[in-house]
Amino acid sequence: MIIVTGAAGFIGSCLVSKLNQEGFKDIVIVDDFSNPEKMKNLEGKIFSQKIHRDDFVEWLKQNHRFTQFVFHIGARTDTTEFDKNIFDKLNLNYTKDIWNLCVKFGLPLVYASSAATYGLGELGYDDNEALIDQLKPLNPYGDSKNDFDKWALKQERKPYFFVGLKFFNVYGPNEYHKGRMASVFFHAYNQIQEKGSMKLFRSHNPNYKDGEQLRDFVYVKDVVEVCYFLLHHRKDSGIYNLGSGTARTFLDLVKNTFAALGKPPQIEFVDTPIDIRDKYQYFTEANMNKLKSIGYSKSFYTLEEGVKDYVQNYLTGKKYL
């Protein structure tokens, strides 16, 4: 059995799809299954059991003998939520419980960390574990992910194989339910379809022109390819970046979305809201050398390839992976 937490969500459901494509059917999916929009992500997927996240820890205690691998992808990911108690419960303490059971029962674990741990990138974007204690995330979500990374590295007892994946700006199919937390690609597609134009934040940093703020955008199909690689790799434990390795501008993103729709670019710039302006990231880019050094050799989708595939094969017609 392979366990996938957050299985009804964006990345989790795409991972279940990838596992199905590779012939894995005995999958235990874990989530809060109360959102009907999220449940659409699971239509057509093959799995053997469905466990509510509140019941999972006790379930694992009883069923660890049948478990081959744990992908803990589920998390509260709302960067605008500022109630630390929510993140302590769902991101920090829940993950500690899963970690401890993986240690106790000898189970391999891949869990979702986040590039939000890097804050404004004062120390760069290298997945050097020696720097993790010095990172300064910008919000409680980033704090919760960094707090767990720090805790995990300090544990004397660790799963025989574990990897924390620092997801950068992931985009792609199955994010329809995410609302305001969906990727910029999703919002760009909808805004262009509705209004024929797209609004981007104006730059308030003299080092960057309007629309030339840079992000590391990574296609969700690449994310699940890395997860699948780790399912079979099972060595070189640690915390790894997972981005494309190439920063691209928001202008690149939007122009490619217009191109995928066969429409001429119509772009407007608006001021970045005052309340987020001092915490706005102008540059993120994952150093991917560490993952490559352990043998991951597949090439990543370029922005052009990812946008075209996402827009034409999924967003148009609201299809799922």
Domains of the chain, each with CATH number or no CATH: 2-171+217-246+282-301 (3.40.50.720)
At 87 the pLDDT is 81
63's CB contacts (< 8 A; 6+ apart) are 1, 28
Structure tokens at 6: 């957050």
CA distances (Å), origin 167, targets 44, 73, 267, 270: 26, 11, 28, 28
User: Would you state the pLDDT for residue 76?
Assistant: 76
Q: Which residues contact 133 (CB under 8 A, 6 or more apart)?
A: 150
Q: How do the pLDDT tens digits run along the chain, 321 residues long?
A: 999 999 999 999 999 999 999 999 999 999 999 999 999 999 999 999 999 999 999 999 999 999 999 999 998 766 666 777 778 777 889 999 999 999 999 999 999 999 999 999 999 999 999 999 999 998 888 999 999 999 999 999 999 999 999 999 999 999 999 998 899 999 999 999 999 999 999 999 999 999 999 999 999 999 999 999 999 999 999 999 999 999 999 999 999 999 999 999 999 999 998 888 888 889 999 999 999 999 999 999 999 999 999 999 999 999 999
Handedness of CA 231, 232, 237, 242 (dihedral sign): negative
What is the reported pLDDT for 147? 96
- Catalytic annotation, residues: 141, 178
pLDDT for the residue 78: 67
Amino acid present at 57: V
> How distant, in Å, are the alpha carbons of 6, 29, 71, 271, 313 from that of 36?
14, 16, 23, 35, 23
Which residue type does 271 have? D
**DSSP string computed for 140-189:** HHHHHHHHHHHHHHH-SS--SSEEEEEE-EEE-SS-GGGGGGS-HHHHHH
Taking CA atoms, 248 is separated from 24, 122, 171, 188, 253, in Å, by: 35, 19, 14, 15, 8
pTM over 0.85, yes/no: yes
pLDDT value for 80: 66
> What pLDDT is attached to residue 91?
83
CA gyration radius for the chain?
A: 19
What is the Cα 33 distance to its own chain's centre?
Answer: 19
